[in-house]
Amino acid sequence: MITVVGEALIDIVSRAGEPPHEHPGGSPFNVAVGLARLGAEVGLATRVGKDERGSRLVEHLRANGVHLLGDAEGLPRTSTAHATLDADGVATYEFDLVWDLPEVPLPAGTSCLHTGSLGLTIEPGASRVLAALPDIRRDVLVSYDPNPRPALVPDHEAAVRRVEEAVSLAHVVKVSEEDVEFLYPGSDYRDVAAKWLRGTGTDLVVVTRGGGGAYGATRGARVDLPGVPTDVVDTVGAGDAFMSGLLDALRRAGLLAVPRLQALRALTQDALHGLLHQAAVVGSLTCRRAGADQPTRAEVDAFLRR
């Protein structure tokens, strides 16, 4: 089982000349739904309000086969992210957020815990999640997507410290090239990946590069993957879809567990390329649809068979 910890919210998507549309969202929420659609058993520890938007999120999770962990409807209101799309479908965000989590549940049989984004940014929930990771990582593979939002982290140095602490506690890290530039202005993403692999307990770092593809690195293998061509409707949730695809590819390869870390560290370049390609296909298919509407296992398999 994969346990995902973090925020669930409503994306309010606006495009010039059109009325806004509301979609279920939140990075960990999207990852959990994406994993379930790909055939994984997944539980989500999240919090929403007892309101109409919160009910929609809970219903969406249940409809997609995601197990709800803990008291999901315990916040005073449901968080929102207002995404404004430019002419290319690329989103910028404004947030109204509430995030708290009394504890980090870990159901029996959990082999991987994924977290990140606002779940490790907004207090008081962020500190509770971070404090749980040192004990969890001993027996459970930890996956992390920083997904920092500049508008929410006015103290840049503190944001970098938080990300680096979380990276040191994660076995698998996925980060976007844009996020690397925010965290380390002017740095090459390959150098940042090498730094994280060299100085922390991380075993795999993947950098997504939008239409430019992705870069993956372990201590022994490096892969530059070209982008998967697609007709972009919007990019909302594309990075989360890639994350779902990566975790599912690792799961299907039998690598998503602490006892399999040696095999993860020993990945060949060809094997790493194959994992990244599967993840990129999931991201590409999501860009073809409005909002964070991720593909099913059947849709991904059909694309891979072409």
pLDDT in tens, the chain (306 residues): 999 999 999 988 887 778 888 888 899 999 999 999 999 999 999 999 999 999 999 999 999 999 999 889 989 999 998 878 887 767 777 889 999 998 898 999 999 999 999 999 999 999 999 999 999 999 999 999 999 888 888 899 999 999 999 999 999 999 999 999 999 999 999 999 999 999 778 999 999 998 888 999 999 999 999 877 777 766 667 889 999 999 999 999 999 999 999 999 999 999 999 999 999 999 888 766 766 678 889 988 888 877
List of long-range contacts for 22-26, beta carbons under 8 Å, 24+ apart: 22/53, 23/236, 23/290, 23/291, 23/292, 23/293, 24/56, 24/57, 24/60, 24/291, 24/292, 25/81, 25/236, 25/237, 25/291, 25/292, 26/79, 26/81, 26/117, 26/118
Q: Report the run of H or E that residue 287 belongs to, with start and end.
A: helix 269-287
User: Which pLDDT belongs to residue 190?
Assistant: 97
Q: CA 176 to CA 237: how far, in whole Å?
A: 12
Q: Where are the beta strands (DSSP E) in 154-294?
A: 172-176, 204-208, 214-217, 222-225
Q: Report the run of H or E that residue 5 belongs to, with start and end.
A: strand 2-5
User: Which pLDDT belongs to residue 291?
Assistant: 63
The secondary structure of the chain in percent helix, strand, coil, rounded to multiples of 5, reads: 40, 20, 35
Q: CA 140 to CA 189: how far, in whole Å?
A: 27
User: Which pLDDT belongs to residue 1?
Assistant: 94
